[in-house]
């Protein structure tokens, strides 16, 4: 095993991420187990980074609090060709809060204990001018013992270092952070401070109380946009057992304007302790005093956005150019812990590796021989569905993340739409681009669908759906969809007869008559949060919708009426839904890292969830014969599941 500085013996890796690798290690001098974080190679060549690493590590090492993981030592191993900076930390017992949330939300009492411990840690660090900048469940360790929980917050001081360095590393392909817990000011490219930590802590508390973060979506840009522009639902609406005081606590913690949040971590902690010890008593409202408005109303719901407006184009430009990478800075998730996670016995999906960024969409060719996938790595790939091998070289041309792929009904063309606001076509047989890209879209391409006859391509961008004549490469219509100016049209689907187009519209779905370009009937309304995915059954009689409220609904298309109760079981946003070719099974995927199969007739789940992915699952697709299910995930992988074996082993 490798030895660092002649003292730390690296035993086995505990976690990997954009910020390096964390190892279980043995301190030979003191004969104790520790966790050692080794920084990634692309950062090691930056002398400025190494100097900042030493400075920030020393500052973090000065923190001493029961709820902060101890930093024992820092150093640089000089025995190799290049110096290797490393950080030696306390090896923390327990599991990350992220792991616990994937299984079930903590009890209300545990949630209170956890958030109070995090706030006590922030009180200590903020008092010493150390801002965390990356409070999230993966950086919170929880150990249950004797009816109480012990909490340790990881990676203090490291996120600032990463954010300062990240913009110079965009060319290396380094991907940093998750947006679900970022403050509006971080999403808007501003510097993070103590108030940002309080907002992030509020996001964590919101998820513990409701089972989902305040905002979810099928891409980082969608989530960041919501942090700046949308108002989350009061937690008591998602969890009716909650007292109203939790709504008030989060109204302050999640205020868009930092000046309207709690003045410090102690004030937020005291408000929570007051409410949990005296449930009928409203928590004290103590927003930040400097520049606070004297006319600010008392909030009983999560506060609405202030004047700041982050446009979709501005956000996507930031993310693509690397300015947003600084805002996305994060330390290695689940970095150092002793895992006690129970391994699942669910069927294992066969992995197709090759993408170097999150896989956003998957689609089978009409003959089922090929599988297409696209990714945040700006490429499209074709796979042989039988051999699971990559077919040819990756298809390139997009200059930003590629979010959607679709085969033409005759299988001759492959279309891909991306965050560069273009759609590109390739000849499936030769892999040669066909014509120039479709341009003129106002924003990132969020969803696409060919009409059943292959003559039209529907493309959603921002609040509009464009109808393109595929042969002529000209637009034949534009449908202005979104009724809410802060909503995005993120899902489109043609009916099997091609006469109608289903689109998402905030918390509902709407049918449009393709011929008249006008809405057809009343909306499919019933979800309590944004609809992000939809699909027609092959006979066109049913429409499935998936929402960020964590539910799926089935609708009778002819009458626009819901069929039974919503399908529940996912814990976060439903990113994709798809019917099997025979219409008997519905597949759904979610940010909760799982895929679920449902019996359409009984509306009951089929077996256990498919949980092999290690990050949110963005897309699901059935093969034309219904024997395979393909999934694409933010964990950079595609997986193929044999449904006959999977269903048999789950029944």
Note the pLDDT tens digit of each residue in 143-188.
987 778 899 998 775 545 444 444 333 333 333 346 899 999 888 7
State residue 170's pLDDT score: 35
State residue 131's pLDDT score: 87
Q: Per-residue pLDDT for 648 more than 50?
A: no
pLDDT category of residue 281 using cuts at 50, 70 and 90: low
Q: Higher model confidence: residue 553 or residue 345?
A: 553
End-to-end CA distance of the chain: 44
Give the range with max mean pLDDT: 83-87, 159-163, 204-208, 321-325: 204-208
Three-class secondary structure assignment of 376-402: CCCCEEEEECCCCCECCCCECCCCCCE
pLDDT category of residue 285 using cuts at 50, 70 and 90: low
As a whole number of angstroms, the distance between CA 88 and CA 72 comes to 5
Q: What is the arithmetic mean of pLDDT over 308-335? A: 37
Q: Per-residue pLDDT for 538 more than 80?
A: yes
The distance of Cα 252 from the centroid of its chain, to the nearest Å, equals 24
Q: Higher model confidence: residue 346 or residue 610?
A: 610
526-651 maps to CATH 3.30.70.360: no
State residue 117's pLDDT score: 96
The residues with which 374 forms a beta bridge, in sequence order, are 361, 380
| Chain segment 456-465, per-residue pLDDT in tens | 999 998 788 9
As a whole number of angstroms, the distance between CA 166 and CA 163 comes to 5
Strands 380-384 and 370-375, how do they pair? antiparallel
State residue 103's pLDDT score: 82
For the chain, what percent of residues have pLDDT higher than 70?
79
As a whole number of angstroms, the distance between CA 265 and CA 127 comes to 10
As a whole number of angstroms, the distance between CA 500 and CA 510 comes to 10
Annotated domain spans of the chain: 95-288+298-338, 526-651
- Closest listed residue to residue 357, CA positions, set 635, 625, 63: 635
Q: What is the arithmetic mean of pLDDT over 438-457? A: 93
pLDDT category of residue 38 using cuts at 50, 70 and 90: confident
pLDDT category of residue 54 using cuts at 50, 70 and 90: low
Q: Higher model confidence: residue 147 or residue 340?
A: 147
State residue 16's pLDDT score: 65
- Structure tokens that stand for 59 in this block: 């500052």
Of 155-159, 250-254, 376-380, 577-581, the range with the lowest mean pLDDT is: 155-159
As a whole number of angstroms, the distance between CA 69 and CA 564 comes to 48
State residue 449's pLDDT score: 97
- CA dihedral of residues 624, 629, 630, 633 (deg, nearest 10): 150
pLDDT, the chain, mean: 82
- Structure tokens that stand for 550 in this block: 């964590």
Are the C-beta atoms of residues 642 and 385 closer than 8 Å to each other?
Answer: no
Q: What is the arithmetic mean of pLDDT over 199-223? A: 89
Catalytic hit among 77, 99, 134, 188: 134
State residue 178's pLDDT score: 64
CATH topology of domain 95-288+298-338: Transferase(Phosphotransferase); domain 1 (1.10.510)
Q: What is the arithmetic mean of pLDDT over 372-376? A: 96
Q: Per-residue pLDDT for 204 more than 90?
A: yes
Confirm whether 46 is a catalytic residue: no
State residue 523's pLDDT score: 94
| Chain segment 217-250, per-residue pLDDT in tens | 767 778 888 898 888 999 999 898 999 899 999 9
Phi, psi of 361 (to 5 degrees): -155, 145
């Amino acid at each position: 095993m490798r030895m660092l500085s002649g003292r730390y013996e690296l035993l086995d890796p505990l976690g990997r991420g954009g910020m390096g690798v964390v190892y279980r290690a043995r301190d030979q001098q003191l004969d104790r187990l520790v966790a050692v974080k080794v920084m990634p190679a692309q950062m090691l060549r930056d002398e400025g980074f190494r100097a900042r690493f030493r400075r920030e590590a020393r500052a973090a090492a000065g923190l001493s609090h029961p709820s902060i993981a101890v930093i024992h030592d820092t150093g640089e191993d000089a025995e190799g060709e290049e110096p290797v900076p490393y950080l030696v930390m306390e090896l923390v017992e327990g599991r990350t809060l992220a792991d616990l949330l994937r299984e079930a939300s903590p009890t209300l009492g545990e949630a209170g204990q956890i958030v109070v411990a995090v706030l006590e840690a922030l009180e200590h660090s903020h008092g010493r001018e150390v801002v965390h900048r990356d409070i999230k469940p993966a950086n919170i360790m929880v150990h249950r013992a004797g009816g109480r929980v012990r909490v340790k917050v990881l990676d203090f001081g490291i996120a600032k270092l990463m954010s300062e360095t990240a913009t110079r590393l965009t060319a290396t392909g380094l991907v940093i952070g998750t947006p679900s817990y970022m403050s509006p000011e971080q999403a808007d490219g501003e510097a993070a401070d103590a108030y940002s930590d309080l907002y992030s802590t509020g996001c964590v508390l919101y998820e513990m109380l409701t089972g989902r973060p305040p905002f979810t979506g099928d891409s980082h840009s969608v989530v960041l946009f919501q942090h700046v522009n949308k108002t989350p639902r009061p937690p008591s609406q998602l969890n009716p057992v909650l007292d109203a005081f939790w709504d008030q606590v989060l109204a302050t913690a999640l205020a868009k304007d930092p000046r309207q949040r709690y003045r410090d971590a102690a004030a937020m902690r005291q408000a929570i302790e007051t409410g949990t010890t005296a449930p009928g008593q409203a928590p004290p409202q103590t927003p930040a005093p400097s520049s606070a408005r004297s006319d600010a109303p008392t909030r009983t719901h999560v506060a609405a956005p202030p004047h700041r407006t982050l446009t979709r184009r501005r956000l996507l430009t930031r993310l693509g150019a690397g300015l947003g990478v600084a805002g996305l800075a994060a330390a290695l998730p689940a970095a150092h812990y002793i895992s006690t996670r129970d391994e699942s016995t669910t069927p294992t999906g066969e992995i197709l590796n090759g993408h170097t960024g999150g896989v956003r969409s998957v689609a089978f060719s009409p003959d089922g021989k090929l599988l297409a996938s696209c990714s945040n790595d700006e490429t499209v790939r074709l796979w042989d569905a039988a051999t699971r091998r990559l077919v040819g070289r990756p298809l390139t041309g997009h200059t930003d993340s590629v979010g959607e792929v679709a085969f033409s009904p005759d299988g001759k063309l492959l279309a891909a739409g991306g965050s560069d606001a273009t759609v590109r076509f390739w000849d499936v047989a030769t892999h040669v681009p066909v014509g120039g890209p479709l341009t003129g879209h106002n924003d990132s391409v969020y969803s696409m669908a060919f009409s059943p006859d292959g003559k039209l391509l529907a493309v959603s961008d921002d609040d509009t759906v464009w109808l393109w004549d595929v042969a002529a490469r000209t637009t034949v219509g534009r449908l202005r969809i979104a009724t809410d100016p802060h909503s995005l049209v993120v899902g489109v689907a043609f009916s099997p007869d091609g006469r109608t187009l289903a689109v998402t519209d905030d918390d509902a779905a709407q049918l449009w008559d393709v011929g008249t370009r006008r809405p057809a009937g009343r909306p499919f309304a019933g979800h309590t949060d944004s609809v992000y995915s939809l699909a027609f059954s092959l006979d066109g009689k049913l429409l499935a919708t998936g929402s960020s409220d964590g539910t799926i609904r089935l609708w009778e298309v002819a009458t626009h009426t819901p069929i039974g109760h919503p399908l529940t079981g996912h814990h976060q946003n439903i990113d994709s839904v798809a019917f099997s070719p025979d219409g008997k099974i519905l597949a759904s995927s979610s940010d909760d890292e799982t895929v679920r199969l449902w019996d359409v007739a009984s509306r009951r789940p089929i077996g256990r969830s498919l949980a092999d992915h290690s990050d949110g699952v963005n897309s699901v697709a059935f093969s034309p014969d219904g024997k395979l299910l393909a999934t694409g995930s933010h964990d950079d992988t595609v997986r193929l599941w044999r449904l006959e074996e999977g269903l048999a082993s789950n029944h």
